[in-house]
Amino acid sequence: MAKPSILGVVTKVVDPQELYQVISQASSQNPAEVHASSKRVEELLDYFGTFDGLHEIAATRSVPLPVRKQSIIQFKNKALNHWRSRKLLSDEQRVRIRSRCMTFFDEEDDTIAECNEVIVAKIARQDYPMNWPSLLADIMDVIRTNLEILCGSPNSDPRSTLALRRGLALLNSILKEFSGVKLLAGVNTMVNIIDQLHEVMFAYYSKLSSMISALVPLALSDQRTADNLIVAHFIYKCLVKMALWLWPKLTTQPESVFAKLEPWFLQLFESSTGQLKILSELRINLVLALRASGLSDRLTLLSIDRLTRHVRVFGKFFRRLQQLKPDKFVQLPTGNQIVLYYWDKVVQATNGPPELIQDAPTAVFPVRFLLQAMVLFKENLSKWTPFRKGGPKTETSIDCLWELWPCADENRLALSQEFVEDAVRLLVTRFIPLNLADLEGWMSDPEEWVNLEDKENDQWEYELRPCGERVLMTLSSQYKDYVTPLLETTFKQIIAQPTVDSASVIQKEALYCAIGRCAIHLREVIPFSQWIQHNLLAEARETNQYYPIIKRRIAWLIGKWISDMCSPANDPNVWEILIHLLRDRGSGTDSVVRLTAATALRECIDTVDFDIDVFVPYLPTAVIELVKLMGEADTIEVKQRLAKSLNVVIERAGPRIAPHAQMISEGIPQLWTAAGEEWLFKAQLLVVVTSLVSAMKEQSSLNGLIVPLVQDGLSPGVAINLDEDALNLWVAALRNSSSLSYAGGPGLVDLVPLAVSLLSDNLDLLGKIVSIVESCLFVDAPAVLQSFARPLMNAFVKALTGQAILTNQRDILVCLQFLTQLAPATLWGQAMHFAGVFSHIVNLLNNDESSSTLLTECIYLLARIALADRQMFLQLVSATAVTMSLPEAKIWEAVLDHWWRQFDHMSEPRHRKLAALGIASLVSTGRPEVLDRLPNEIFNLWTDVFFEVKESKSLADNEDASPLTLHWDLDQVPQSYYADSENTAEFDRRKMLLDNDPVRTTQLTNYVAAALQEAERTCGGTHIFNQYINKTDPTLLKQLQNELQGE
């Protein structure tokens, strides 16, 4: 059965019984049935009525639960993207689906209920309020009715509570969906929703919060308490969604339609700060009471978990407000008080027994709560300053905070010196020191511990220790007049004290960490060189069993201090310490120390002030140890980090790495093979080899390593991950090589077939491959063409006639120009014809839609061919005429027409001179098609170039040494000519080609005069030649004669 749609397209109509049967099979526990039904399910999703049928199955409670789940998941995944489709849904079906969505309030299965939330929110985004005007009212009716039951009944009604939870979750999803709408219609709808909900939801929460605030320990085991908490939590989440959507608009559009909601927003924020204090204190007291009594039944734990989550949502609300508008957040009434309250809880937590702080909802001070507190405090610190704008330093009590929103800007909060110093001491003594869990992680899995430490910069908001470090850094920046003297004094006290037991070692490590984090502000007060010489050198060599903790931090500290530019990397003691820590395998050290030293080494070397002369004595050991560590490491992340360090060493050492190149290269194959499909590490290995090749320049003898790496890196299935790095290695090898062959094994010439294959078949890499072919030609064009001229030309033609973009086509034509300069015509002329290169150029010239850029490059190429071998040019024209079944005159016509037309597109003098030289070479052949153009186009072209390109020969005592002075070429060629080959052998090769280019070495007037004389002889003598000349305008002819005679 088929149903014609309004558009006339016939759509099959689903059979409800078949749909039910197929969905039942898809939800079966039998893999064979699932596999058999999957294809049919996909087919039925394109039938009319399928979406309505799926939704009906999901809403039918008598259907088995797995079938209902499968149906609603399929509907959620597929129907929402086609909700407006008239081919798959009718208006009647959409009405039925919307109506059915309102029947899931008492749904017991969470998966089905959560899918329904997504479905309602997505449909509402498209249909509310126009096609679903009753949506909000229906949901609010369910919430109001069941909330009255919850608050009015002394006993808990599970079905009513379930409906209330589902209704609030549904409302929360709708608010979340509309919060993301940017279009004006969606914004207006959101305003309308908030208008309807903000007061009533605030009232609902106020009612429940008063009940929660009166909780006592015994009430925690009551189901009603757990219900009140989860309902209050959902209501508050809805309030938060509305407030967060309003917040940026209130701050940026104060006079807009949102202004009327500002009082409500401020009321919500102020009440939230007050409620957070109440709930936080209540929770702390309840948990302490439960710990004392030992009560831990299921309902009690559930209630505590829900209360903990609810407290945490306040912190999320404050943090998001702070993130959205940090400048305005500090101006909110009671905003600063709540942040300081949070900090007070941090202080309280650290002053109590350590067991009070745990990453668990039943902890007195859950880690997540403390993290929220510290992050809020840190972010506000940047807005609290001890300086008034334009005024003197002030000290303000922490109780002197804003009272009124309008005057907030005039009363900036500044923390007292005592407060700041206490905060610093707390951070350095309680949060920054390594704890037992850190040390256990260090010992059980050193490499993973190092990996996690390396990720602290990204994860600092989720761990107490890195978060504490960031708070300290912010305090040091904002209150440096307080923090710097305190850390300086502490440093002087601790540095002189003996460090022999674990406690003193851990505390010293924390101080070193603090110094490293605040290095920029301490560099003027801490004598770093003396500290290294008198203390750190000795500590780095200490064999105490606890000293790996200190040594690891010393390496980190040195790397941090120097990478932050607090000291230059030119002190031998720096390298003495780092190299010792890198290679030491005796007592008092471990792999964490060595891995940290490797990272610190990279940070110190990769600085502007790095002095290779100071580092050279340590270079052999650094290379040996880094290669050894790479071989010993178990995890790919650590291997990759070590490879990065080795790469930086190679880059900064430059040619001085040559004596160690063999040792580095010998370790690469084993690492490469062991890496398997760890593409990031393999890419890093390619980078290391590339740096090695670039550093050694022409000294490199790594072809035996380079060739297989490039071949493997560009092989099918691997290239998608490694092509860029493999190509970079290939380019570096070619540019720094003096030969394509290698007597001791594989040579770069063995990669030419791969280049030819990629050139013809890989459009994505075409630009890079063309540059590789170009580099091959610069190394040894004759060798390449002797073996690969035909396949190379075929590949060029395939790329030019395929889908290559204009830039790549131009690059190919430029490459062909170099080819004609770098090898004799006998090596490329025949291949150019048989491959169809010349034919393609003729086709381009005859195509009215060809780009002027391409046409100009074609003329440059033709000029190069004519300049290289005029007889080869004539042969190519003749052979192409036969191939294309055209008279030669037609080909000459196309070539000469565009030679004149494209002349105006040539902006650089060297190119205009090239065109003049090329056409002069063709004139010398005496071809009548060319000589016919002499009186007008060619003479005009020459006189234009004569006028622009002034040249002279400076006669010296030795005529052979007399250079051609190019008055027109005072500037260098465009940088693009060198193709980023600076500091390589290829740059010199390109420079040599440029210096010996006939365009630069041949005087145009002499060349033209000789060409005219040759033409006169070739065409049959003066009588015949004058027949062409006499057609010239006398004025033009006189001007030309003057130029040729040097007048």
> Please, what is the Cα angle at 378 between 456 and 567, to 5 degrees?
60
CB neighbours (10 Å) of residue 948? 12
pLDDT over 90 percentage in the chain: 63
Predicted local confidence at residue 392, as pLDDT: 34
Query: b/e per residue, 593-603, with b = 16+ CB within 10 A?
Result: bbbbbbbbbbb
* Beta-bridge partners for 3: 11
Between 316-320, 350-354, 944-948, the lowest mean confidence (pLDDT) is in: 944-948
949 compared with 376, residue with greater pLDDT: 376
Q: How many CA atoms lie within 13 A of 163 on its CB side?
A: 20
Would the pLDDT of 976 be above 90? no
pLDDT-based confidence at residue 572 (cuts at 50, 70, 90): very high
CB atoms within 10 A of CB 752: 20
Q: How many Cβ atoms are within 10 Å of 351's Cβ, its own excluded? A: 10
Reply yes or no on whether the pLDDT at 779 is more than 90: yes
pLDDT digits 0-9 by tens, 30-54? 888 888 888 888 889 899 999 999 9
Query: What letter does residue 13 receive in the DSSP assignment?
Result: B
Residue 581: which of 593, 571, 591 has the closest Cα? 593
Question: Locate tokens 């020191």: which residue?
Answer: 433
Cα–Cα separations (whole angstroms), residue 524 to 87, 89, 455, 516: 74, 73, 29, 13
Q: Is the dihedral of CA 833, 836, 841, 842 positive or negative?
A: positive
Sign, CA dihedral 805-807-810-814, equals: negative
Given pLDDT bands bounded at 50, 70 and 90, which one contains residue 10? Answer: low
The secondary structure of 339-406 as a DSSP string is HHHHHHHHHHHHHS-GGGEESSTTSSEEHHHHHHHHHHHHHHHTT--SB-TTS-B----TT-----ST
Local confidence band at 387 (pLDDT 50, 70, 90 cut-offs): low
Give the span between the Cα atoms of 514 and 433, in whole angstroms.
10
On the question of pLDDT at 817 being above 70, the answer is yes
Residue type, 918: G
pLDDT digits (tens, 9 = 90+) for 694-705: 998 876 678 889
Checking if the pLDDT of 224 tops 60, the result is: yes
Token pair of 71 as six digits: 């149906």
Higher per-residue pLDDT: 1019 or 162: 162
User: What percentage of the chain's residues is helix, strand, coil (to nearest 5)?
Assistant: 75, 0, 25
Q: Determine the pLDDT at residue 709.
A: 94
Please report the pLDDT score of residue 867 as a whole number.
93
SS3 49: coil
Phi first, then psi: give them for residue 135, nearest 5 degrees. Answer: -55, -55
Alpha helices in 128-261 (DSSP H): 135-152, 158-179, 184-212, 223-252
What residue type is assigned to position 591 of the chain?
S
User: What are the tens digits of pLDDT across the range 280-324?
Assistant: 999 999 999 998 887 778 999 999 999 999 999 999 999 999 999
| Highest mean pLDDT of the ranges 2-11, 247-256, 615-624 | 615-624
* Residue 8 pLDDT: 46
User: What pLDDT score was predicted for residue 218?
Assistant: 86
What torsion, rounded to 10 degrees, do the Cα atoms 324, 330, 332, 335 define? 100
Average pLDDT for 170-192: 93
370 burial (CB, 10 Å; 0-12 / 13-18 / 19+) is: buried
Q: How many CB atoms lie within 10 A of CB 1032?
A: 17
pLDDT at 186 over 50: yes
User: Using N-to-C axis directions, what is the helix angle for 367-381 and 298-324, rounded to 10°?
Assistant: 20
pLDDT of residue 56: 95
Tell the burial category of 256 from Cβ atoms under 10 Å away from its Cβ (0-12, 13-18, 19+): exposed
pLDDT recorded at residue 456: 64
Q: Rounded CA gap, 580 and 559, in Å?
A: 14
Q: Which residues contact 361 (CB under 8 A, 6 or more apart)?
A: 304, 305, 308, 309
Mean pLDDT of the chain: 88
Q: What is the DSSP string of 949-977?
A: --EEE---SSGGG-PEEETT--SPPPGGG
Residue by residue, what is the 3-state secondary structure of 322-341? Answer: HHHCHHHHCCCCCHHHHHHH
Nearest Cα neighbor of 443 from 600, 556, 599, 591 is 591
Q: What is the pLDDT of residue 255?
A: 67
764 band by pLDDT with thresholds 50, 70 and 90: confident
Q: What's the CA gap between 966 and 953, in Å, rounded? A: 9
**Higher pLDDT pick, 21 / 456:** 21
**DSSP of 278-316:** HHHHHHHHHHHHHHHHT---HHHHHHHHHHHHHHHHHHH
Give residue 959's pLDDT: 46
Q: Which two tokens stand for residue 569?
A: 């990397």
Cα distances from 142 to residues 139, 288, 934, in angstroms, run: 5, 38, 95
**What tokens does 919 get?**
């056409």
Which region among 67-71, 154-158, 264-268, 988-992 has the lowest average model confidence (pLDDT)? Answer: 154-158
What would the mean pLDDT of 161-165 be, rounded to a whole number?
A: 95
Stretch 650-660: mean pLDDT, rounded?
92
Report pLDDT for 956. 36
Predicted pLDDT of residue 965: 62
Q: How confident is the model at residue 143 (pLDDT cuts 50, 70, 90)?
A: very high
Q: Do residues 601 and 557 lie in contact, with contact meaning Cβ atoms separated by under 8 Å?
A: no
State the DSSP H helix or E strand holding residue 414, giving kind and residue range, or none if neither: none
More confident residue, 1044 or 984: 984
The burial of 1030, by beta-carbon neighbours within 10 Å (0-12 exposed, 13-18 middle, 19 or more buried), is given as: exposed
**Is residue 403's pLDDT more than 70?**
no
Evaluate whether 351 touches 298 at the Cβ level (below 8 Å): no
Which residue is associated with the tokens 């291997």? 639
Residue 386 confidence (pLDDT) above 80? no
Dist CA 123 CA 115 (whole Å): 12
Asked if the model's pLDDT at residue 663 lies above 60, the reply is yes
Q: CA 583, CA 593: separation in Å to the nearest integer?
A: 10
- The one-letter code for the residue type at 770 is V
What distance, in Å, lies between the first and last C-alpha atoms of the chain?
94
> What are 137's two structure tokens?
């009212």
Mean pLDDT computed over 399-404: 35
What pLDDT shows up at residue 554?
95
The pLDDT score that the predictor gives to residue 613 is: 93
Residue 457 has pLDDT above 70, yes or no: no
Report whether 711 contacts 751 (CB < 8 A). Answer: yes
Left if phi > 0, otherwise alpha if psi is -120 to 50, otherwise beta: which for 706? Answer: alpha
Distance of CA 734 to the CA centre of its chain: 29
Q: Are 538 and 527 in contact (CB under 8 A)?
A: no
Residues near 1000 by beta carbon (within 8 Å), at least 6 away in sequence: 910, 964, 966, 969, 994
Q: Is the pLDDT of residue 5 over 50?
A: no
DSSP state letter for 726: H
**CA 363, CA 341: separation in Å to the nearest integer?**
19
pLDDT in tens, 475-522: 999 999 999 999 999 998 888 788 888 889 999 999 999 999 999 999
Q: Given pLDDT bands bounded at 50, 70 and 90, which one contains residue 971?
A: low
Find the mean pLDDT for residues 951-974. Answer: 54
| Alpha helices (H) in 744-887, listed in sequence order | 752-761, 766-801, 806-822, 825-835, 837-846, 852-868, 870-884
> Does 391 have pLDDT greater than 80?
no
Q: What is the DSSP letter of 48?
A: B
